[in-house]
Amino acid sequence: MRRSAAALALALAACGSGGGSARRGAGEVAAAGVAAALDRAALELAPWRCAGLAPVTATGALTVGARTWRRADRTLTSDGASLTLAAVADARGAADPAWRAALRTAGVDVVVALGGMGTTEAELTASLGAVVDPAWLTVAVPGTAEAWPAHRAAVAALAAGGAAIVDGSDLRLLDAGAAVIATLPGVAYPERLAAGSDGCVYDGADATAIVSAAQALAATRPALLATATAPQGGGGDRLAGGGAAGDAPLAAVVAPLAAVLHAPVGAAPAAGERDGDGVVGIAAGSLDPVPRYGADGVRAPAAVPIVTIERGAVRWRLLASR
């Protein structure tokens, strides 16, 4: 209780600062989410249960690039016949500014950060601050490394400073017109939290409820899940010993979706296209300056997947920072 009260008070104070219309828009959207979090008694646990779907009272609007996002409770809504997004992870407290320049060339509407961005408020502010941009909406979803109070405070402070960023530990659904994206923060297993008792967890009921809500909102449109956890088998990732990577229970829950955007598991994301029915796994690009190696020992190039959704089709290509 002491941890949450202190962190949320700091976040609310940050949201109330700043001037100018752009700052007010971003700050109000973030502040609404932080204020709503105060009413969630289920979060007064260690670790934090950040994946609830209990109703909240949060409203606001945020214009980012050519889109205006409107918030109602846990949902952001924006019109668009197509959607282009990028998935990043594992900056570990610092991100090369070259990535922001590269993402600008890709014309993305949304950048989703899927964990590993830092452990402290200072690290999260630095890494998330390096990928936010006025041209796109950044959705910060905590994974195993993020301490929830630090994550909330960092996102709120960035938003109060005018950054177009929202908290994926509070926001649940993004209706982007061409597709619906749901967020599932944290992990299912507390023992896997690098953040320890300050990290975020979810259970099977949380995951099922979020997937069901995304399906219901999407109707005939593609529905995607953004989470740090990879479902087993979705992207064909292998562990060093050759076994299938990812979480088997989550794979069963997400089976009805079009795709799952998840944190890196193997060496690197791969380009692709969803062909027919069935869920596909799309690994986020690692922003970690330390090189990554696949199960075969081959060094993986640094690349971020750029996902385009249009007329029901889901395609993704790889983008390098240089």
Higher pLDDT, 185 or 52: 185
Q: Model confidence over 192-249: pLDDT tens digits? A: 898 899 999 999 999 999 999 999 999 999 999 999 999 986 554 543 344 456 789 9
Of 9-18, 181-190, 195-204, least confident by mean pLDDT is 9-18
Count Cβ atoms within 10 A of the Cβ of residue 78 and give its class: 0-12 exposed, 13-18 middle, 19 or more buried: buried
CA distances from 135 to 27, 63, 110, 247, 252 (A): 17, 10, 9, 34, 35
CA distances from 63 to 14, 79, 171, 172, 201 (A): 20, 12, 17, 19, 31
Dist CA 179 CA 308 (whole Å): 10
Question: CA angle at residue 320 from 100 to 112, to 5 degrees?
Answer: 50
Dist CA 95 CA 129 (whole Å): 9
Q: Model confidence over 33-70: pLDDT tens digits? A: 554 544 444 444 568 988 887 777 788 999 999 999 99
What's the pTM? 0.83
Best CA proximity match to 304, nearest among 279, 277, 269, 274: 269
> What fold does the segment set 2-319 form as a domain?
Purple Acid Phosphatase; chain A, domain 2 (3.60.21)
pLDDT of the residue at 252: 94
**Mean pLDDT, the chain, whole residue set:** 83
Phi, psi of 216 (to 5 degrees): -65, -40
Locate 95 and state its tokens: 């991100």
